[in-house]
Amino acid sequence: MSERYQTQEELREEEIVKNFLLSHPDFFSLHPEMLEGLALPHDTGKAVSLVERQVSVLRQRNVELRHRLNQLLDTAHSNDNLFEKTKTLVLHLLEADSLQRLMEVLYDQLRENFEIPSCSLLIFADSQDTAQGPARVVAEEQALSQIGGLLRNSRPQCGVLRPDETRFLFAEQADKVGSVAAVRLGGERPFGILALGNPDSRYYQSNSGTLFLSYIGEVLQRLIPRFL
């Protein structure tokens, strides 16, 4: 009983000391002699002074902060590159004077500038007369039957699709596609879908960022109807 009481008392006293030091961060500056008698265990088993330990902690924090800063700079650089590529793509799309030219620009830019191995754009129409350039035309009912799950969601979808969905989207390229990012074009009644494919089944995942794909989808759903 006495031992239990002493343990609780020690914990209470430690809490008082801790709170005092937090409330008086200049305590050791006012009483530097206190530092001389303090020693802290190190990972190596060697005792080090409080000042040495503080220097070690600050040095480690400095390394971590530098690492975070480098990550932020890398992200900013990547975002700048993505913005420039996206701007170039949109400007070229705006200059297209036909659906065929629009599709050619889209496919060329995605493959060359964005290094996307496989891309496919399907337009839903009953007549093949709509087909121009690399775009494929499929019946709306067929699209709803084959990829209805992708078309019901207005947001881009990423991940591994069923084999029949992948074949429907990419046709002869399907064997080279492991994961897909797709966005429907249009409102409640879509008129098409844009799909990007990668051989790596883990490349496009459900938690992948889709801001770029959303933006390109919005641009296309405003430009394509002009030529239909």
pLDDT tens across 129-168, in order? 555 556 788 999 999 999 999 999 889 999 999 999 999 9
Residue 210's pLDDT is what? 87
Tell me, yes or no, whether 44 lies in a domain: no
The average pLDDT across 192-197 equals 96
Q: At what angle do helices 50-95 and 211-223 cross, to 10 degrees?
A: 10
Q: State yes or no: pLDDT of 125 exceeds 70.
A: yes
**Judgement on whether residues 21 and 109 belong to the same structural domain of the protein:** no
Number of domains in the chain: 2
pLDDT band of residue 214 (cuts 50, 70, 90) is very high
Tell me, yes or no, whether 72 lies in a domain: no
Nearest to 124 by CA among 71, 187, 69: 187
**Judgement on whether residues 105 and 181 belong to the same structural domain of the protein:** yes
Widest Cα–Cα separation across the chain:
93
The average pLDDT across 60-83 equals 88
**Judgement on whether residues 24 and 105 belong to the same structural domain of the protein:** no
Tell me, yes or no, whether 126 lies in a domain: yes
Tell me, yes or no, whether 132 lies in a domain: yes
Can you give the residue range of the structural domain that contains 12?
1-28
Residue 2's pLDDT is what? 43
Tell me, yes or no, whether 61 lies in a domain: no
Residue 202's pLDDT is what? 94
- Report pTM: 0.69
Tell me, yes or no, whether 208 lies in a domain: yes
